[in-house]
């Protein structure tokens, strides 16, 4: 089957320029017809305005991730009060200080979702986390009933999201509904996540993204996925953490972010999940909080879901 159209989807770059550059080089070889971004473009890695410059120059459409939204609204009346705590979110504040006014405007105006309609192809709906919440996402291990309830706002046959930093390709059959004397079965929906370019959470630290080829399956057009995983220079990232000042500014949390990038495990987000349930005395001391967290959490003992 020869594809008649190829699309690429990049999510959760998180300011990791070496990872993005590996993807860009691969995109040159794969030659997609269009590229789309799934949000969380920056934050947690040293490259900020320079990475946004690259993405804007390419003209790639993007949805708004939760990190994009937080940065756009930080130090404004619309910002969430909790993110004003620099001790708890030092990388957010450091990243915000690297942004120019045009960067903030760009992040603020990103749409919550995108509908891609191409003649002769099944429609695609893109969003970052959930249809109504960019701060939560769809996990690969969630049951069909939970997932179908979370995506019921959209009726496209293929949904593509990010946020969890975990590649996913699953088909969900919504629950049946009864209207009068008739039982109605909604058509199945396929949900995909390309994984993360800059900070994967699936124990594979390589830069990850998704290609979709439009092919003919049983006489009908369909999207065929190809999940790409690419090596890049981690030491370049670690060096930039030091030379940029990000590591000094973020301390133990920066070290935790580097650990995530190095081994592809969800240390960064899992720590924040754990921290929100701790008393103020713990939340006010990031260095001690990270040390306490590492004593009790890690692979097979994550705070997520506990």
Q: What is the pLDDT of residue 219?
A: 87
Residue range 123-158, pLDDT digits in tens: 999 999 999 999 999 999 999 999 999 999 999 999
What does R_g of the chain's alpha carbons equal in angstroms? 20
Residue range 14-57, pLDDT digits in tens: 999 999 999 999 999 999 999 999 999 999 999 999 999 999 99
* Gap between the Cα atoms of 225 and 213, Å rounded: 6
Other CB atoms within 10 Å distance of the CB of residue 236:
14
In the predicted structure, residue 224 carries a pLDDT above the cut 90: yes
Which secondary structure element, helix H or strand E, spans residue 179, and what is its range?
A: strand 177-179
Yes or no: say if 137 and 162 are a contact pair by the CB < 8 Å rule: yes
* Gap between the Cα atoms of 11 and 298, Å rounded: 24
The gap between the terminal CA atoms of the chain, to the nearest Å, is: 45
* Gap between the Cα atoms of 135 and 150, Å rounded: 13
**What's the whole-number mean pLDDT along residues 76-81?**
93
Q: Domains in the chain, ordered, with CATH?
A: 5-230 (3.60.21.10), 237-296 (no CATH)
């Amino acid at each position: 089957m020869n594809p008649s159209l190829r699309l690429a989807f990049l999510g959760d770059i998180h300011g990791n320029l070496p990872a993005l550059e590996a993807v860009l080089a691969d995109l040159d070889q794969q030659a997609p017809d269009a590229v789309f971004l799934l949000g969380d473009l920056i934050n947690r890695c040293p490259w900020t305005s320079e990475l946004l410059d690259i993405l804007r120059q390419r003209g790639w459409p993007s949805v708004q991730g939760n990190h994009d939204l937080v940065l756009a609204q930080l130090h404004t009346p619309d910002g969430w009060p909790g993110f004003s705590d620099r001790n708890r979110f030092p990388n957010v504040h450091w990243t915000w200080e690297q942004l120019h006014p045009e960067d903030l405007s760009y992040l603020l105006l990103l749409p919550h979702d995108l509908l891609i309609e191409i003649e002769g192809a099944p429609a695609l709906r893109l969003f970052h986390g959930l249809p109504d919440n960019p701060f939560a996402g769809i996990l690969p291990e969630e049951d069909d009933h939970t997932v179908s309830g979370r995506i019921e706002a959209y009726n496209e046959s293929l949904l593509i999201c990010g946020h969890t930093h975990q590649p996913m390709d699953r088909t969900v059959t919504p629950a049946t509904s009864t209207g009068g004397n008739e039982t109605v079965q909604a058509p199945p929906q396929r949900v995909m996540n390309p994984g993360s370019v800059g900070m994967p959470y699936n124990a594979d630290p390589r830069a990850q993204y998704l290609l979709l080829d439009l092919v003919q399956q049983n006489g009908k057009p369909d999207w065929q996925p190809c999940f790409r995983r690419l090596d890049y220079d981690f030491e370049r990232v670690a060096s930039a953490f030091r030379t940029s000042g990000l590591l000094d500014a973020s301390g133990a949390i920066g070290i935790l972010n580097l650990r995530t990038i190095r081994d592809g495990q969800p240390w960064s987000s899992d720590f924040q999940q754990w921290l929100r349930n701790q008393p103020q005395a713990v939340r006010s001391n990031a260095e001690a909080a990270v040390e306490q967290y590492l004593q009790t959490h890690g692979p097979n003992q994550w705070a997520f879901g506990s």
